[in-house]
Amino acid sequence: MIRLYQFPISHYCEKSRWALDYKGLPYEIVNLLPGPHLLTTKRLAKRSCVPILDYEGKILQDSTHILEFLEHAIPSPPLIPDKAAEQKEALEWEEYCDAEVGKHLRRYFYHYLLDEPRLMPKLILEQQAWYGRYLYFFTYPLVKRLMRKSMNIYPEPVKRSKQALDEALRRLDREVARREFLVGGRFSRADMAAAALLAPLFTPSEHDYPWPPASNLPEPLQETHARWADSALARWVHRLYRDFRKRGRTHG
């Protein structure tokens, strides 16, 4: 049995779901509620974060480790280029996207979304168990405070994250404007990581998560959406989702 412990909203979890789906593996999804998730994640692994993959009893934490493991367990279809130098380059791109896109985009988005009590709890509770609604009704202010603390979501770090995110978006936009894939001549884990981590910004329809339309978002996020909506990067992410985001065979 393969089981993915995750948050539906998390773009790192989307990266892992995409890898499982791409490899054609059937798996069960276990959605955890941010906050009480600690009870499960600490029992399963060293750190508190998701995604965590239970692959027939072998526990893997962190989306990069999950991709690494899946590539060895199920080599076809491949998620790495053929040549060793390109494999190294693909891993570097993945690490760059995890650090420079994933983390900063999340801090920047959550900064504005957390103060939207009609939007954010709904987004976190999407696809979650029924009791989440009742729990969050009473505890959302506390959850919000803990999320700000654990992800360092305060004005100064958010300002720096916005700059770092802009820089990463400009770099990726330049790169994909002149070639089809980030590394070599075929789709790889580098492209998967970049597209999955950018999904909250470009909200491709193949992404199995109901991101609200940009017009419902707080104004700074609307502006970011508008600025990037017609970019080479947006077209690239939409194309990768259309061509490579196979629907999964999930159950549970």
Residues that bind ligand GSH (CB under 6 A): 7, 10, 12, 48-51, 62-64, 98
Shortest approach of ligand GSH to residue 99 CB, angstroms? 8
Shortest approach of ligand GSH to residue 243 CB, angstroms? 23
Show the tokens assigned to 101.
């896109």
Measured in whole angstroms, the distance separating CA 115 from the mean position of its chain's CA atoms is 21
The smaller minimum CB distance to ligand GSH, of residues 4 and 233, is found at 4
The smaller minimum CB distance to ligand GSH, of residues 95 and 223, is found at 95
Note the residue count of the chain.
252
Shortest approach of ligand GSH to residue 62 CB, angstroms? 4
The smaller minimum CB distance to ligand GSH, of residues 64 and 127, is found at 64
Shortest approach of ligand GSH to residue 235 CB, angstroms? 25
Distance CA 2, CA 59 (A): 10
Show the tokens assigned to 248.
């999964």
Judged by DSSP in three states, 58 sits in strand
Distance CA 64, CA 94 (A): 8
Show the tokens assigned to 59.
């526990």
Shortest approach of ligand GSH to residue 63 CB, angstroms? 3
Strand order in the sheet with 2-6: 58-61, 52-55, 2-6, 26-31, 249-251
Decide if 193 contacts 15 (C-beta within 8 A). yes
User: Which residues lie closer than 8 Å to 39 by C-beta, 6 or more apart?
Assistant: none
Shortest approach of ligand GSH to residue 35 CB, angstroms? 9
Shortest approach of ligand GSH to residue 195 CB, angstroms? 15
The smaller minimum CB distance to ligand GSH, of residues 52 and 80, is found at 52
> What's 100's DSSP letter?
I
Distance CA 219, CA 211 (A): 16
The smaller minimum CB distance to ligand GSH, of residues 64 and 250, is found at 64
Decide if 155 contacts 115 (C-beta within 8 A). no
Query: Cα(first)–Cα(last) distance of the chain, in Å?
Result: 11
The smaller minimum CB distance to ligand GSH, of residues 97 and 234, is found at 97
The smaller minimum CB distance to ligand GSH, of residues 19 and 234, is found at 19
Show the tokens assigned to 156.
């100064």
Distance CA 242, CA 239 (A): 5
